[in-house]
């Protein structure tokens, strides 16, 4: 089934989840590799790929949210109301990070005077003019938010594994197989 039901994740929601998962892990690893490289053509090429991947993540997350709001949400399987509420809060927080990190990346590049050309196909509209001070501030936020994102994903994945191995419910399998 493509769409969610009240007790299953449809194929589209699962594809969004796991494709974005792979992309986010890759961009975090790639971003750190690029940051440690000496300036030169190799670094520029890797940062170019980073920007294209990050822009794609932003587009996919927006599409994923549109899909989510037009689909039923599978019912909660947590052991208590508070656990379910914490789970929802974490999901909202993850969505906020998934939207803000690439947006800040784009604004940072623009304020350093580097327009963003995803896959060399088109230019992302310019929202901020050259402003090195703003760029440095956004870079600091970009360098902090990925750590917050990585830690949050760690808690989120640990919660999913707890559901699977300790509570032995279908939370994780529902995100892998649907039901
Ligand atoms: C979910 C999306 C993104 C994640 C998780 C992410 C993550 C990262 C990470 C981990 C680094 C290395 C930071 C460090 O040195 O500590 C980095 C650097 C960087 N990111 Fe992103 N990024 C994302 C999206 C973007 C986007 C969309 C752009 C611009 C279009 C961008 C532009 C940059 C640039 C220019 C750097 C290099 C900064 C430097 O010169 O060291 N990022 N990013
Ligand atoms: C970059 C990494 C990840 C991100 C950004 C992420 C994000 C999310 C988000 C936003 C949701 C809420 C889906 C909705 O709209 O209903 C979700 C659900 C879920 N995620 Fe992840 N996730 C990541 C990695 C993982 C990993 C590694 C696992 C498993 C070990 C996992 C297991 C699950 C499960 C089981 C659900 C469904 C929870 C429920 O039904 O209440 N996720 N994830």
CA distance 81 to 86: 9
Helices (H), the chain: 11-36, 41-69, 81-111, 132-165, 171-176
Task: Determine the pLDDT at residue 179.
Answer: 84
| Cβ atoms of residues 20 and 98 within 8 Å | yes
- The answer as to whether 4 is a domain residue is no
Measured in Å, residue 72 CA sits from the centre of ligand 2 at 16
| 5 strand-pairing partners | 8
- The answer as to whether 1 is a domain residue is no
Number of structural domains the chain divides into: 1
- The answer as to whether 2 is a domain residue is no
The residue whose C-alpha atom lies closest to atom 27 belonging to ligand 2 is 157
- Beta carbon of 99 within 6 Å of any ligand 2 atom: no
Block residue for tokens 């996919």: 60
- Beta carbon of 117 within 6 Å of any ligand 2 atom: no
Q: Would you state the structure tokens that stand for residue 52, as one six-digit string?
A: 């294209």
- The answer as to whether 6 is a domain residue is no
- The answer as to whether 67 is a domain residue is yes
CATH of residue 172 = 1.20.950
Task: Determine the pLDDT at residue 79.
Answer: 86
Measured in Å, residue 17 CA sits from the centre of ligand 2 at 6
Domain holding 133, by residue range, is 11-176
- The answer as to whether 83 is a domain residue is yes
Average pLDDT, the chain: 97
Q: What is the pLDDT of residues 61-116, one digit of tens each?
A: 999 999 999 999 999 998 899 999 999 999 999 999 999 999 999 999 999 999 99
pTM over cut 0.75: yes
């Amino acid at each position: 089934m493509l769409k969610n039901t009240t007790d299953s994740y449809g194929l589209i929601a699962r594809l969004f989840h796991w494709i974005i998962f792979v992309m986010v892990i890759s961009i975090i690893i790639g971003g750190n590799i690029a940051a440690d490289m000496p300036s030169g053509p190799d670094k520029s090429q890797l940062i170019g790929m980073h920007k294209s991947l990050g822009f794609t993540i932003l587009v996919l997350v927006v599409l994923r949210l549109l899909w989510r709001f037009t689909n039923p949400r599978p019912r909660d399987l947590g052991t208590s109301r508070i656990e379910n509420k914490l789970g929802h809060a974490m999901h909202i927080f993850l969505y906020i990070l998934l939207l803000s990190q690439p947006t800040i990346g784009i604004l940072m590049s623009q304020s350093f005077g580097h327009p963003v050309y995803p896959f060399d196909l088109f230019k992302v509209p310019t929202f901020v003019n050259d402003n090195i001070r703003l760029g440095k501030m956004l870079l600091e936020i970009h360098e902090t938010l990925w750590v917050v994102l990585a830690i949050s994903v760690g808690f989120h994945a640990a919660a999913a594994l707890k559901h699977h191995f300790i509570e032995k419910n279908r939370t994780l399998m529902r995100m892998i197989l649907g039901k």
